[in-house]
Structure 1
Amino acid sequence: MTDRTFDIGDRTVDRLGFGAMRLTGEDIIGAPDDEDAAREVVEHAVEAGVDLIDTADSYGPGVSERLIGEAIGDDEDVLVATKAGLLRNREGDWLPHGDPDYIRNQVLCSLDRLRTDTIDLYQFHRPDPDTDFEESVTTFGELKDEGLVSEVGLSNVSVEQLETARDHVEVATVQNRYNVGDREESDVLEACEEYGIGFIPWAPINGDDIDGVDAVEKVADDHDATTRQIALAWLLERSDVILPIPGTSSVDHLESNLEATEISLSDEEVERLTDAGSN
């Protein structure tokens, strides 16, 4: 990596974080079978040096945030990012809901579950076709002005929506789908690079995107590494603004993911992996 860290507002974090979506039950609904084990994963991540944890109020819903709060409380050395803007139901659907009153209600719930007075990074989870995008974004900006959140981020947005949001609030991060096998959001990444905005790729090591990419498997063999580790190493080399947040409910998988920071890819390998992905 050319730079191991990135500044989100006035906080400097290591670029490889931890995604806490998988701390919940099946289909990201309800509590996990073993809550102690879930809390242990969070605790182990922090002990291993992870200082960026990403979650959302819709994971559970509420379960992931609660477990993080119980595991580490308001740890001043860890930047905890959460999101609002999606509803859940028992069928596991993800339903956009960006109503300003709803967002204001949800920030209070997240503050309580995370056991903090201020959310480090609050992200609009997904634009809502039934709510004016500018109204939703402005609400996040107001929450920052009121001191309930420190920084504002976006998720699942287009370049045009990012530009619109920047007219109303300082955008610290954008979280869109992106990995070695899925580059559909490359234009958003390029915009983040231009503006110095952190780009948090969700599904950074999605097996459906990585499996079958011959270049990933070849580089993994050459480094005696897993394909997931190579996919993470490539993201860290791909751009200094990328902050991958691989998620897991296993301490062993967490350790494996963190080992990706120890892999040094050659320029030729980075180019080969870059050329191998879809554009």
Structure 2
Amino acid sequence: MTSSTFRIGGERSVRRLGFGAMHLPTAPGPARDAAIAVARRAVDLGVTLIDTAHLYGWGANEELLAEALYPYPDDLLIATKVGVAPPDPPHDAAICGRPDFLRDQVEQGRLRVDRLELLQLHRVDPEVPLADQLGTLRELQVQGSIGHIGLSEVTVAELEEARKIIDVASVQNRYNLLDREHEAVLDACDAAGIAFLPWRPVHPAVSQATTEIVAVAAELGATAAQVSLAWLLGRSPVVLPIPGTGTIGHLEENVAAASLRLSGDQWRRLDRIQPRRAFPSTA
């Protein structure tokens, strides 16, 4: 039976079904209050892995989580990401892997912790040598500001290169039942025991699900989204889905997917579904 937990970096144990905080509203008002309630409910439901990034509201999402959850429970890991510069008119937001920029984003302290337990490079900057980008994060790790280092939206070749520079604890690429563009990256993580955090773990088209998804959902008394998450959890023990939502009802539905059990036949039927084209987005 597949474990419901995973040790990130071989050290930090989390429950495999996490929570993505990207969609939580951060502007003052009732929507923010509701977002705080969602974050707190996630922890109440036993979620121990929450994903955020400096890009999400340019630090506002991190500040929201700190307001909602600090001081953090001992078993809660909040993963964040750095490496995207905010817009500076006339310039748009842009990937930035300059060592000074990465160091500044890490040290801003919006999560109110001295050590970021999992810090992921949001995107590889093609204009900066990878050794300089990851070398900076490794220096911060040695200094105690970072616990584990991960990557986001990388190729197999980039992952291999990165592993020559740092111990890669996680990879966060887009992946789900209907979008398996990064199948090879997941396979590489599986072989190396690296946590794979699929962002957008439920494809937008699952609401117009295929006959097979509808059939499996009916057999289990579940939703198509829950079946999609259950398929991911059965794909590999290194997969840690991070579905996001802004409502407590949807959150509870997602978390319940962790207890959904697909039979071997059901999983194989889903696995044979032809993947669809990806929907472009950022996470």
- Measured against the shorter chain, the TM-score band is over 0.9
How far has the Cα of 1:37 moved from its partner? 1.1
Residue 147 of structure 1: which of 113, 132, 144 is its match? 144
Residue 75 of structure 2: which of 68, 77, 85 is its match? 77
SS of the counterpart of 1:21?
coil
Provide structure 2 residue ranges, at least 5 long, that are not aligned to the other structure.
277-283
How far has the Cα of 1:113 moved from its partner? 1.3
The answer to whether the 8 Å contact 2:206/2:225 transfers is no
Kindly provide the CA deviation profile for residues 85-106 of structure 1, in whole angstroms up to 9, marking residues without a partner as x. 1234499x65211111110000
The answer to whether the 8 Å contact 1:18/1:53 transfers is yes
- Seen in structure 2, the aligned counterparts of structure 1 residues 102 and 8 have a Cα distance that, compared at 3 Å, is same
SS of the counterpart of 1:257?
helix
In the other structure, the counterpart of 1:201 is: 198
Following the alignment from structure 1 to structure 2, what is the Cα–Cα distance between the partners of residues 74 and 167? 36
In the other structure, the counterpart of 1:222 is: 219
The answer to whether the 8 Å contact 1:182/1:209 transfers is no
Following the alignment from structure 2 to structure 1, what is the Cα–Cα distance between the partners of residues 94 and 140? 22
Kindly provide the CA deviation profile for residues 2-43 of structure 1, in whole angstroms up to 9, marking residues without a partner as x. 110100132111000000000136xxxx66762111111111
SS of the counterpart of 1:114?
coil
The answer to whether the 8 Å contact 1:16/1:258 transfers is yes
How far has the Cα of 1:211 moved from its partner? 3.3
TM-score (norm 1): 0.92
Q: What letter is aligned with 2:21?
A: A
SS of the counterpart of 1:173?
strand
| Root-mean-square deviation (Å) | 1.9
5 Å matches for 1:235-250?
A: 235-250=232-247
TM-score (norm 2): 0.91
Q: What letter is aligned with 2:94?
A: L
The answer to whether the 8 Å contact 1:32/1:38 transfers is no
Following the alignment from structure 2 to structure 1, what is the Cα–Cα distance between the partners of residues 195 and 178? 20
Q: Which has the higher helix share?
A: 1
How far has the Cα of 1:146 moved from its partner? 0.9
In the other structure, the counterpart of 2:250 is: 253
In the other structure, the counterpart of 2:259 is: 262
Q: What letter is aligned with 1:202?
A: W
Aligned residues: 272
